[in-house]
Amino acid sequence: MTESSRPPLSVQFEESEDQGSNSSLNPTLGDVIAARYDRRDLMKGLLGCAAIAATVSPVALMVAQEARAQGGNTTPSFAFKEVAAGSDEKHYVAEGYDADILIRWGDAVLPGAPAFDPANQSATAQALQFGYNNDFLGFASINGAPGHGLLVVNHEYTNEELMFPKLGRQDQKARFAGMTKELAAIEMMAHGGSVIEVKRENGKWGIVPNSRYARRITAETPMEITGPAAGHTLMRTNADPTGTKVLGMLNNCAGAMTPWGTWLTCEENFNGYFWSKKAGEEGPQGKALKRYGAPGEWYNWGQYVDRFDYAKEPNEVNRFGWVVEIDPFDPNSVPKKRTAMGRFKHEGAGNIVNRDGRFVAYQGDDERFDYVYKFVTDGRVDTANRAANADLLDKGTLYVARYNGDGTGEWLPLVQGQGKLTAENGFPDQATVLVHARLAGDAVGATKMDRPEDIDVNPKTNKVYLMLTNNSRRKADQVDAANPRADNKFGHIIEMIPENGDHAALKFTWNILVRCGDPAIAAVGATFHPNTTRDGWFGMPDNCAVDNAGRLWVSTDGNSPGATGRADGVWAMETEGAARGTSKLFFRCPNGAELCGPYFTPDDETLFVAVQHPGEAEDDAPPGSGTFENPATRWPDFKDGMPPRPSVLAITRRGGGKIGV
Ligand code: FEO
Ligand code: CA
Ligand code: CA
């Protein structure tokens, strides 16, 4: 979700999404000052410059000097002709590749789905059609075939102003005056996820019609709550006195596939669906609600559906903000909310089977000044018996990260009874620790980060890449080694190396792979390798993928003509050797869109990408821009009366072959 895309501007200045909700006293300075970074002093000087110098950043030059000192070949390993950075109504992919639309919002997923008709939408139709704002993509092969499998797709949120005719933006400022119960019901059906069977024939991907695997998950799909918080008093509602059953998943942003072929889909800004702010402030869970920015009132569903009204169902909000595990191979399987993995605004769940067989998932909590987590299972992955992994994610340890100034880091366990996580401090049991994981992170002294988005593991090197998208609220006296820039508009990428290659270890080392932004503007302090072209740099890293050769691909959220002079897209990023820090633009989004879900097929011949919220207007666009009637693009159909449609694309090389080789 673009930081400014869903919460109304008026709301942003009041609450979590913009200011961050973390008022804990965990250090942002002091002992985590970047002692080992000589660059920091340089940066202080640079940032003190009033004028922005149009010259190559001294920081970038220093990176180049370091690279040269290391010797070696600085030629990027990514062999493709770079796309020109810029912004217009279309999408672009590197020369010699095709980026074909696979499925669009409103296309049929289930049998009986009517043809998409934007002027005559209904909840019934939407429940059978592909949902809105495709985000995470995962591919699970059928019988090991790289060209045939299930594509799972998150539908993160809805843009009513782009979806519905003559409605415009509906938010607190507009008092949701144009909303109706039916529109809200359509929105609920447009959330969740889709499972589609896809097959590549004669080089082109298509959807297998009437697949027995096809499935739509919505805001009303029955789900089970599992793990330590299941059944806890904080999880019980009038509709579910057992605290083990919940309807739907919300704001599912990024995710991951597990080695046993299930889909981890992660709830992010769940707070925005709850109503109303006033009731929340007066409610009994005040401290926790504030920390999670709930009830957020970004949508008015609570006016029509009691469970989204905090005054009527104060615990319903606790049943969202989880990692949900879904078996895409069984369309009748009940999705499971895995509470052992913690409750926060999840981005993804990049994972690996540790060398001791335990499953380790890295997780970002995407908010300004929030934390990085990892979850380590007690049990081991059974590679021979898929069913044996069915409840593996219900038992394990959740950790939160502390980044020290000397380039080391620690994983702090969030275990009730240990350290400050005691009943006296508000943590009477492990369920409470998990439901209020952010408060637990505050208590143990985690490091406040610049909006942790995706984290992915490189199985070739065991290195872990963490996307930190931006944090324009970080003040100069709040910078630290891991978040070294005040007013961090463009974000950075951290590389983490587990001790002895052991992902279950309590220690790691880390360094900054790149500080993002325009390297030609010295005051920005970007550190792309100087071989990076004017098209090759980016801001706001969000999602990422590691191909089977162990190379990093980064997608972005928040680039725009006004912010960086370019649309969002996918950039290939060198991480090793003398070319480290060089990036190249591979795919570019149409106006207003962010790029989500990059995911490779097992043969690296296809990169699936999700173009989310095409047509959104920039913040300073005239009123009425970025609406159904006046979108920033009508991609991908370009037909009068047809709004822009979030869509999934399959990128393949013309004539076949691996991507970017
Ligand atoms: Fe939904 Fe953190 O992006
Ligand atoms: Ca984002
Ligand atoms: Ca995201």
* Contact indicator for 219, 188 with CB cutoff of 8 Å: yes
* Nearest listed ligand to the Cα of residue 596: 3
Q: d(Cα 203, Cα 383) in Å, to the nearest integer?
A: 31
- Does 119 map to a domain? yes
User: How much distance in Å is there from the Cα of 19 to the middle of ligand 1?
Assistant: 16
Write the CB contacts of 86 (distance below 8 Å, at least 6 apart in sequence). 565, 566, 567, 588
Atom of ligand 1 nearest to the CA of 364: 2
- Does 91 map to a domain? no
Q: Identify each DSSP E strand in 157-236 by its residue range.
A: 192-201, 204-207, 215-217, 222-226
User: How much distance in Å is there from the Cα of 454 to the middle of ligand 1?
Assistant: 9
- Does 612 map to a domain? no
Atom of ligand 1 nearest to the CA of 156: 1
Q: d(Cα 61, Cα 49) in Å, to the nearest integer?
A: 18
Atom of ligand 1 nearest to the CA of 451: 2
- Does 512 map to a domain? yes
Q: d(Cα 590, Cα 462) in Å, to the nearest integer?
A: 34
| Residues flanking ligand 1, CB < 6 Å | 1, 156, 253, 268, 347, 366, 453
Residue listed under structure tokens 């972005």: 556
DSSP string for residues in 567-601: --EEEEE--SGGGTT-EEEEEEPPTT-EEEEEEE-
Atom of ligand 1 nearest to the CA of 469: 2
User: How much distance in Å is there from the Cα of 207 to the middle of ligand 2?
Assistant: 28
* Contact indicator for 433, 417 with CB cutoff of 8 Å: no
Residue 455 is predicted with a pLDDT of 98
Residue listed under structure tokens 């992170």: 441
Query: Which residue owns the Cα nearest ligand 1 atom 1?
Result: 1
- Does 517 map to a domain? yes
Each residue's pLDDT tens digit, 341-356: 999 999 999 999 999 9
User: How much distance in Å is there from the Cα of 304 to the middle of ligand 1?
Assistant: 26
Q: d(Cα 468, Cα 452) in Å, to the nearest integer?
A: 5
- Does 518 map to a domain? yes
Residue 5 is predicted with a pLDDT of 53
What is the chain's percent helix, strand, coil content, to nearest 5?
A: 20, 30, 50
Distances from the Cα of 588 to the Cα of 124, 128, 556, 573, angstroms: 34, 30, 10, 15
Bridging pattern class, strands 222-226 and 215-217: unpaired
Amino acid, res. 654? R
- Does 450 map to a domain? yes
User: How much distance in Å is there from the Cα of 244 to the middle of ligand 2?
Assistant: 30
Strand order, beta sheet including 358-364: 351-353, 358-364, 372-380, 396-403, 408-413, 507-515, 492-498, 464-468, 452-457
Distances from the Cα of 27 to the Cα of 468, 481, 525, angstroms: 18, 11, 23
* Contact indicator for 218, 153 with CB cutoff of 8 Å: no
Atom of ligand 1 nearest to the CA of 254: 1
H or E stretch at 65? helix 58-70
Nearest to 481 by CA among 36, 22, 42: 36
Write the CB contacts of 474 (distance below 8 Å, at least 6 apart in sequence). 28, 368, 369, 450, 483, 485, 486, 487, 488
Distances from the Cα of 283 to the Cα of 277, 299, 318, 478, 536, angstroms: 10, 19, 13, 32, 49
Q: Identify each DSSP E strand in 232-356 by its residue range.
A: 245-247, 252-257, 263-267, 323-326, 336-338, 351-353
Residue 47 is predicted with a pLDDT of 34
Whole-number percent of the chain with pLDDT over 90: 86
Nearest to 198 by CA among 275, 141, 282: 141
> CA dihedral defined by 609, 612, 615, 617, rounded to 10 degrees?
-130
DSSP string for residues in 12-56: HTTSHHHH-S------SSGGGS-TT-HHHHHHHHHHH-SSPPBS-
**Domain count for the chain:** 1
User: How much distance in Å is there from the Cα of 265 to the middle of ligand 1?
Assistant: 12
* Nearest listed ligand to the Cα of residue 469: 2
Query: Which residue owns the Cα nearest ligand 1 atom 3?
Result: 1
User: How much distance in Å is there from the Cα of 347 to the middle of ligand 3?
Assistant: 6
User: How much distance in Å is there from the Cα of 253 to the middle of ligand 2?
Assistant: 9
Handedness of CA 444, 447, 453, 459 (dihedral sign): negative
Each residue's pLDDT tens digit, 455-466: 999 999 999 999
Nearest to 40 by CA among 368, 525, 530: 525
Bridging pattern class, strands 372-380 and 396-403: antiparallel
Token digits of residue 382: 């059974």
How many separate helices (H) and strands (E) can be counted in the chain? 11, 31
Atom of ligand 1 nearest to the CA of 2: 3
User: Which segments of the chain have a pLDDT < 50?
Assistant: 4, 8-19, 28-56
Q: d(Cα 587, Cα 99) in Å, to the nearest integer?
A: 9
Handedness of CA 308, 312, 316, 317 (dihedral sign): positive
* Contact indicator for 538, 571 with CB cutoff of 8 Å: yes
Q: d(Cα 584, Cα 571) in Å, to the nearest integer?
A: 5
**CA distance between the termini of the chain:** 31
* Contact indicator for 73, 574 with CB cutoff of 8 Å: no
Write the CB contacts of 102 (distance below 8 Å, at least 6 apart in sequence). 151, 198, 205, 206, 207, 608, 647, 648, 649, 650
- Does 606 map to a domain? no
In this structure, what are the phi and psi dihedrals at residue 325, rounded to the nearest 5 degrees? -105, 130
In this structure, what are the phi and psi dihedrals at residue 294, rounded to the nearest 5 degrees? -115, 150
Q: d(Cα 396, Cα 359) in Å, to the nearest integer?
A: 9
Distances from the Cα of 322 to the Cα of 217, 309, 491, 568, angstroms: 15, 19, 25, 27
Token digits of residue 302: 């609570």
* Nearest listed ligand to the Cα of residue 2: 2
Provide the CA 468 distance to its chain's centre, in angstroms: 11
* Contact indicator for 132, 191 with CB cutoff of 8 Å: yes
Task: Give the helix ranges, DSSP H, for 244-384.
Answer: 277-282, 286-292
Give the residue numbers spanning the domain of 431: 10-77+103-535+567-584
User: How much distance in Å is there from the Cα of 333 to the middle of ligand 3?
Assistant: 26
User: How much distance in Å is there from the Cα of 155 to the middle of ligand 1?
Assistant: 12
